[in-house]
Amino acid sequence: MNLSASQQVKADLARLVPLFESRFLLPFADGEAPHLAEAMVYSLQAGGKRIRPVLCMLAAEAVGAAAASALSCAVALEYIHTYSLIHDDLPAMDDDDLRRGKPTCHVAFGEGPAILAGDGLLTEAFTHLASDPDLPPSRRVDALRVLGEAAGWRGMVGGQALDLEGEARTRGGEPVTLAGLQQIHRLKTGALLRASLELGAIAGCASREDREALRAAGEAIGLAFQIQDDILDATSTTEAMGKRVGKDEGRGKITYPLLLGLQGARKALQEATERARCQLASLPNPLSLTALATYLAERGA
Ligand code: GRG
Report how many domains make up the chain. 1
Centre of ligand 1 to C-alpha 178, Å, is 20
- Residue with CA nearest ligand 1 atom 27: 48
Which ligand 1 atom sits closest to the C-alpha of 159?
8
pTM for the whole structure: 0.94
End-to-end CA distance of the chain: 16
pLDDT value of residue 179: 94
Q: What count of other Cβ atoms lies within 10 Å of the Cβ of residue 172?
A: 9
Cβ–ligand 1 distance for 96 under 6 Å, the answer no
ipTM of this complex prediction, to 2 decimal places: 0.91
Say if residue 243's pLDDT is above 80: no
Average the pLDDT over each of 16-30, 141-155, 192-206, 248-262 and give the range with the smallest value: 248-262
pLDDT value of residue 122: 98
* CATH number of residue 225's parent domain: 1.10.600.10
Choose the residue to mutate in 44, 85, 255 for probing ligand 1, maximizing ligand atoms within 8 Å of C-beta.
Answer: 85
Centre of ligand 1 to C-alpha 189, Å, is 7
pLDDT value of residue 248: 54
Judged by DSSP in three states, 281 sits in: coil
pLDDT digits (tens, 9 = 90+) for 226-235: 999 999 999 9
Decide: 86 and 110 in contact? Cβ < 8 Å. no
Average pLDDT estimate for 150-162: 98
pLDDT digits (tens, 9 = 90+) for 262-275: 999 999 999 999 99
Domain extent at residue 200: 3-298
Cβ–ligand 1 distance for 224 under 6 Å, the answer no
Cβ–ligand 1 distance for 244 under 6 Å, the answer no
Q: Which residues neighbour 89 within 8 Å (Cβ) at sequence distance 6 or greater?
A: 95, 96, 99, 104, 105, 106, 114
